C-alpha cells in the first residue's frame, strides 16, 4: 500500500510540474508581441481568441451529437468582452468565428475570422492562418502563432 501511495504522490507531482511548465510558456509567449508590427500584433490578439473559441465550439459540437451551437450564449460564452465582440456562424455545421475590436481607434486590424482549419493547422505547424480585415476595409490572410 505504501508503494501505491508513493506512486500516486510522484504522479501528481509530475502532473503539477507539467501544468506549471505549460502555464509559464504561454505567459512568456503573450509578452513576445511587443516587437511585432502593429498589424501583426492586432492579428495575434484576435487570432488567439479565435483559436480558443473555435476549439470550444468544436468541443460543444462533439459533446452534443454533432449539433453545433446556434450562438455563444448557448455554449455559455459571453459575446462581448471589454475589448472585443465575438460572433459565431455555422456553415454546413462548421463553426466560423469572427472577433472584432470594440474600439477601432489606433488599430491596423479591426477584425479577423477563422474556422476549424485553425485547429488543424496549429496542430501540424504551430501556426495557423486567419482572414483579417484592415481598418481600410481590405482583407488579407495573416499567420498567427498558437
Q: Mind listing the pLDDT tens digit for each residue in 48-86?
A: 999 999 999 999 999 999 999 999 999 999 999 999 999
Indicate whether 24 pLDDT > 50.
no
Question: What pTM value is reported for the model?
Answer: 0.76
Q: Mind listing the pLDDT tens digit for each residue in 83-137?
A: 999 999 999 999 999 999 999 888 999 999 999 999 999 999 999 999 999 999 9
Cα 115–chain centre separation: 11
Rounded Cα distance, 112 and 100, in Å: 7
Q: SS3 of 144, please?
A: strand
Q: Look at the chain and count its residues.
A: 146
For the beta sheet containing 84-91, the strands, ordered from the edge strand earlier in sequence to the opposite edge, are: 84-91, 94-101, 109-114, 127-134, 139-145
Amino acid at each position: 500500500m505504501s508503494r501505491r501511495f508513493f506512486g500516486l504522490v510522484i504522479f501528481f507531482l509530475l502532473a503539477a510540474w507539467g501544468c506549471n511548465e505549460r502555464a509559464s510558456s504561454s505567459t512568456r509567449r503573450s509578452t513576445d508581441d511587443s516587437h511585432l508590427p502593429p498589424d501583426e500584433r492586432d492579428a495575434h490578439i484576435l487570432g488567439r481568441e479565435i483559436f480558443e473559441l473555435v476549439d470550444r465550439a468544436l468541443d460543444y459540437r462533439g459533446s452534443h451529437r454533432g449539433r453545433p451551437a446556434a450562438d455563444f450564449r448557448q455554449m455559455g460564452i459571453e459575446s462581448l468582452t471589454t475589448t472585443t465582440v465575438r460572433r459565431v456562424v455555422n456553415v454546413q455545421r462548421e463553426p466560423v468565428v469572427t472577433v472584432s475590436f470594440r474600439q477601432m481607434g489606433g488599430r491596423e486590424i479591426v477584425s479577423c475570422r477563422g474556422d476549424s482549419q485553425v485547429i488543424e493547422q496549429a496542430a501540424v505547424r504551430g501556426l495557423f492562418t486567419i482572414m483579417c480585415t484592415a481598418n481600410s476595409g481590405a482583407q488579407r490572410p495573416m499567420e498567427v502563432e498558437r
